Amino acid sequence: DMSSTRTYNHELVPHKGFTLISGIHDPDDVDQIYNLEIRDSDVFVITYPKSGTIWMQQILLLLEADGDETATSKFNNNGDLIPWIEITGSREAFIKAPSPRMRVTHLPYHFMPSALSQKKGKVIYIARNPKDVLVSYFYFHKMASMLETPKDFNEFFERFLQGHVFGCSWFEHIKTWYSHKDEINALFITYEEMIQDLRSVVDRISLFLGKQLNDEQLANVVKHSTFTNMCKIPQASYEQVPEELLNHRQGRFMRKGTIGDWKNHFTVAQNERFDELFQKEMKDFPLSFIWDI
């Protein structure tokens, strides 16, 4: 019985088009994010869950340290250095933090600091093909102590299509951010680009952030942010996140790190339904994804 291993029993709380998790997020606190003062050196990494958030944490920390992989080793978890802005207490720490302030978030656009729309600060949006997101999210729901374990894959598939998962629907998330892309100072990248050519993505991020790293330092950033190497770094692979948040006996945060794992999970009928929904939802958004390699 998996439920007996749970120490947390959090509730999903719908709040203005996003579900928060009671005990982790506070609705009033989240509403205050909109009013934050933003510095030009601030960096926000925006992701729908399971799209490469912790990967980007590792890349940004390495870029900040000029490629020196020992820089983060005195910390327990990369998430302590680049925290989620929506978690209770995070906003107060953000206000006091020295530059550069780097944060990650799963929040939709309308919650984010209004100053971003005056092109203050920097936004890195990572999109991942939603079929692989769905599969990754399914496994994450099994290991995340604060989320309800899905009955089986089929049940989770339906929930994802309806947007009844932690956060909001994948379609909502990408559409709200993408439709505001010209108002904000943003770099849009995909998980698939990172898989296929990590070096060129790292180069683009470095340029976007105005970093001056030499070739060898950039190569080091890439080297220490590959899937294999991140698996060897406990603070980068989230292995040290406490059990009350992640049940490490139920799976690994660094699960597979590939493109196209959905093919091992979707039935033909599920795939057709997904494609139909994708075409309907995304008809006004000319975004193309790499679905397999």
Residues annotated catalytic, as ranges: 106
Residue 256 binding ligand A3P, by CB under 6 A: yes
CB 103 within 8 A of CB 84: yes
- Using CA atoms, how far residue 271 sits from 2, 59, 130, 206, 267, in Å, is 29, 33, 12, 37, 6
Q: Give 94 or 138: the residue with its C-beta nearer to ligand A3P.
A: 138
Side-chain half-sphere CA neighbours of 21 within 13 A: 19
Contact string (CB under 6 A) for ligand A3P, positions 49-88, x = contact: xxxxxxx---------------------------------
Contact segment (CB under 6 A) with ligand A3P among 34-42, 240-248, 251-259, 275-283 equals 251-259
User: Is the link from the previous residue into 130 a cis peptide, with omega within 30 of 0?
Assistant: no
Q: Give 142 or 273: the residue with its C-beta nearer to ligand A3P.
A: 142
Contact string (CB under 6 A) for ligand A3P, positions 107-146, x = contact: -------------------------x---x--x-------
Q: What is the nearest approach in angstroms of ligand A3P to the Cβ of residue 164? A: 19
| Placement of tokens 């009955």 in the chain | 151
In this chain, which of 21, 107, 143, 230 binds ligand A3P, going by CB under 6 A?
A: 230
Q: Give 42 or 132: the residue with its C-beta nearer to ligand A3P.
A: 132
Q: Which residues pair with 46 in a beta bridge?
A: 105, 125
Residue 169 binding ligand A3P, by CB under 6 A: no
Q: What is the nearest approach in angstroms of ligand A3P to the Cβ of residue 245? A: 13
Contact segment (CB under 6 A) with ligand A3P among 63-71, 147-155, 158-166, 248-256 equals 248-256
Instruction: Encode burial over 114-142: b for 16+ CB neighbours within 10 A, e otherwise.
Output: ebbeeebbbbbbbbbbbbbbbbbbbbbbe
Tokens of 129: 């093909």
Residues that bind ligand A3P (CB under 6 A): 47, 49-55, 132, 136, 139, 225-227, 230, 254-257, 261
